[in-house]
Amino acid sequence: MAGRHSRMCFIMTLSLIMVLTPVCGAEVCDSSEVPPFDRALMFPYSKPLSLVSDVTQSISVLAPALFALAAPTSDWVGIAMLYGASSVLSFGTRTLLKSTIDRSRPYTYAVDPPTAPPIGEYDHDRSFPSGHTIMAFTGAAFTHTLFALRYPESRWRMPVTSAAWTFAAATAILRVASGNHFVTDVLAGAAIGTFFGAVVPYMASRSDYMWKRDNVSMYIGPTAVALHVRY
């Protein structure tokens, strides 16, 4: 079920790429180039809302740390490795898409955007996809999936997963409201983050990898860190 849901999210992301607005060369862009779906929710740049979105993203990203309350210490290294894999895949996809797809941010369409980052001196043409949303939904989806698969009876499951999804959704909303992203940017980010956040723990559970006791050990010394994984 989780696998089918993740694949659907990824297909939705690829579909969204087909309707993106191209980057504009002028200092102030023409809003008529924006698809109607995105044009309905375009906002000028808001630094306070942008800063709040940094906070909500950070909370979502740190949500898996609460497995320290629900999981035995013997599972901590395995959980950290799985979340690291999800995060690397999400961040790598974010970086690849932003470096290959040019799309001006909504605040570049304002007639007078005095509070926005200087156009031409910031990543004003890197609107797609929303990196904040990708990482926030990676944390939320990973937390939800791992609780469901590994710790379904934990008393922490409902409050932690509910909070993780709430802060992830708040991040997406704030990225639009702050003028940093279009709706399709955050929808794509949510799909990408959900896909990688769910698929890594799901595949690990299917293979029983990382769930076997004593198969992972770590040594931390003054000059080296060693990780040993036994198959």
List pLDDT tens digits, range 97-143.
998 988 888 888 865 555 566 555 567 788 899 999 999 999 999 99
Average pLDDT over residues 50-60: 95
Instruction: Compute how many other C-beta atoms are within 10 angstroms of the C-beta atom of residue 21.
Output: 22
What is the C-alpha separation between 190 and 142, in angstroms, rounded? Answer: 13
What domain count does the chain have?
1
Check: CB of residue 143 under 8 Å from CB of residue 71: no
Which pLDDT belongs to residue 170? 98
What radius of gyration do the chain's Cα atoms show? Answer: 19
Check: CB of residue 181 under 8 Å from CB of residue 121: no
Q: Does residue 65 lie within any of the structural domains?
A: yes
Q: Does residue 40 lie within any of the structural domains?
A: yes
Which pLDDT belongs to residue 213? 46
User: Above pLDDT 70, what percent of the chain?
Assistant: 71
Please name the amino acid found at residue 69.
Answer: L
Q: Is the peptide bond before 129 cis (omega within 30 degrees of 0)?
A: yes
> pLDDT digits over 195-213, tens only?
999 999 998 888 765 555 4
User: Above pLDDT 90, what percent of the chain?
Assistant: 49
* Six-digit token string for 138: 């990676």
Which pLDDT belongs to residue 124? 79
What is the C-alpha separation between 178 and 46, in angstroms, rounded? Answer: 5
Which pLDDT belongs to residue 5? 52
Q: What secondary structure letter does DSSP report for 13? A: H
What is the C-alpha separation between 181 and 31, in angstroms, rounded? Answer: 14
Which pLDDT belongs to residue 217? 47
What is the C-alpha separation between 193 and 93, in angstroms, rounded? Answer: 9
Q: Does residue 26 lie within any of the structural domains?
A: no
Burial 115-133 (b: 16+ CB within 10 A, else e): ebbebeeeebbbbbbbbbb
Which pLDDT belongs to residue 227? 47
Residue whose C-alpha is closest to residue 106's, from 140, 130, 142: 130
Domain that holds residue 112: 2-21+31-229
Q: Does residue 167 lie within any of the structural domains?
A: yes
Q: Across the chain, what does the average pLDDT equal?
A: 80
What is the C-alpha separation between 63 and 163, in angstroms, rounded? Answer: 8
Q: Does residue 158 lie within any of the structural domains?
A: yes
